[in-house]
Amino acid sequence: MGDDLTLEDVRDLAEGAALLGTGGGGDPYIGRMLVERQLRAGRRIHVIGVDELPDDALVLPSAMMGAPTVFVEKLPSGDGNLAALRALERHLGRSAAATMPIECGGLNSMMPLLLAAQADLPVVDADGMGRAFPELQMETFAVYGVPGSPMSIASDHGDVGIVEAVDNRRMEHLARALTIQMGGAAYICDYPMDAATVRRTAIPGTLTLARRLGATLRRARQEHADPFAALSATLADTIYTHSRVLFAGKVIDVDRRTVDGFARGRVTLADAADDGDTLEIVFQNEHLVARRGGRVLAIVPDLICTLNSETGTPVTTEALSYGQRLTVFAISTPPIMRTPEALEVFGPAAFGLHEPYTPVEDLNQPARRRPRQGQMA
E strands present in 170-210: 185-189, 193-194, 203-204
Mark the segment that binds its own copies (CB under 8 A) among 13-21, 175-183, 195-203, 279-287. Answer: 175-183
176 or 218: CB nearest its own copies = 176
User: Which residues, 6+ apart, have CB-to-CB distance to 107 below 8 Å?
Assistant: 25, 26, 27, 28, 30, 31, 64, 68, 71
User: Which residues, 6+ apart, have CB-to-CB distance to 266 below 8 Å?
Assistant: 253, 254, 255, 280, 281, 282, 283
Distance in Å, CB of 211 to its own copies, minimum: 36
Side chain identity, residue 32: R
Longest Cα–Cα distance in the chain: 73
91 or 338: CB nearest its own copies = 91
Site pattern 77..116 for its own copies (x: CB under 8 A): ----------x---x-------------------------
157: contact with its own copies by CB under 8 A: yes
Distance in Å, CB of 68 to its own copies, minimum: 20
123 or 151: CB nearest its own copies = 151
Mark the segment that binds its own copies (CB under 8 A) among 64-72, 161-169, 229-237, 345-353. Answer: 161-169
Helix (H) or strand (E) holding 62: strand 58-66
CA separation for the pair 174, 98 (Å, rounded): 26
Among positions 79, 159, 194, 277, the unique one binding its own copies when judged by CB under 8 A: 159
Q: Is 47 helix (H, G, I), strand (E, B) or coil?
A: strand
Give the DSSP letter of residue 264.
Answer: E
State the CB neighbour count (10 A cutoff) for residue 266. Answer: 18
60: contact with its own copies by CB under 8 A: no
Distance in Å, CB of 176 to its own copies, minimum: 8
Exposed, middle or buried by CB within 10 Å (0-12, 13-18, 19+), for 54?
exposed
- Give the chain's radius of gyration (CA, Å): 20
Among positions 37, 74, 94, 173, the unique one binding its own copies when judged by CB under 8 A: 173
Mark the segment that binds its own copies (CB under 8 A) among 114-122, 125-133, 170-178, 237-245. Answer: 170-178
CA separation for the pair 192, 164 (Å, rounded): 12
Distance in Å, CB of 179 to its own copies, minimum: 9
Among positions 6, 77, 181, 311, the unique one binding its own copies when judged by CB under 8 A: 181
Among positions 72, 82, 162, 196, the unique one binding its own copies when judged by CB under 8 A: 162
Give the DSSP letter of residue 193.
Answer: E
170: contact with its own copies by CB under 8 A: yes
Q: Site residues (CB under 8 A) for its own copies?
A: 87, 91, 157-166, 170, 173-174, 176-178, 180-182
